[in-house]
Amino acid sequence: MNKIYLIIVLVTIFLSACSDSKGSVTFKDMGKETVEITDSIIVYSSSKDITLWELYAERLKKFPKDNLMYFSDIELKLMNKDGTLAATIFADSAIVNDEMHTVYAQGNIEIYSQEGDIFGETITWDRKKEEIFSEDSVKVIHQGNVIQGTSFKSDSRFEHVTLHRATAEGEVDESEVLW
């Protein structure tokens, strides 16, 4: 009797952990490759007591066969080497490939940094090279000026941003055009 009760409790806990707002998720819905579905998750990386980055997400779906993690409704905080906040990135979803050390985010991209704010539809973060880029058009707001670009490339701290085929609205002094 105790063994059956324990199994029922474990199955109930497992099935309730694999649910979403649309009802419970079945094994058929999850597919054979899904290992984990988690709601409201925080993932971070640190080195020598300094947080390098933090990723907050509403949901995680992990697929071990492809070594991919799918996040939805994300907020990614990138830190400077001293641990202070360098930039915050918001997106509808992101795919993290640990093997390739990349994060691909898409949908309503908003990047806020001290150097300026960037808006677009997709970005890729190459964690090995410490580069963030997009092949899609972006809008940058820097000191009240609006700059449009067909694509962009930046370091992970947004200290050096390059816009391709840029057009601008507003007044920009030549001495201010560092990126």
Domain boundaries, the chain: 34-173
Angle at 112 between CA 108 and CA 118, to 5 degrees: 55
Q: Domain spanning 34-173 has what CATH number?
A: 2.60.450.10
Q: How far apart are CA 119 and CA 168, in angstroms?
A: 14
Using CB atoms within 10 Å of the CB of residue 164, give its burial: 0 to 12 exposed, 13 to 18 middle, 19+ buried: middle
Is the separation of the CB atoms in 134 and 119 below 8 Å? no
Q: Which pLDDT score is estimated for 4?
A: 35
Which has the closest alpha carbon to 71: 55, 59, 53?
A: 59
Q: Which pLDDT score is estimated for 32?
A: 54
Q: Which pLDDT score is estimated for 131?
A: 93
Query: What pTM was computed for the model?
Result: 0.73
pLDDT (tens, 9 = 90+) of the chain, 179 residues, equals 433 333 333 333 344 344 344 444 444 444 556 678 888 999 888 888 888 889 999 999 888 777 788 999 999 999 988 889 999 999 999 998 888 889 999 999 999 998 889 999 999 999 899 999 999 999 988 888 888 999 999 988 888 888 888 887 666 566 666 55
Q: Which pLDDT score is estimated for 87?
A: 92
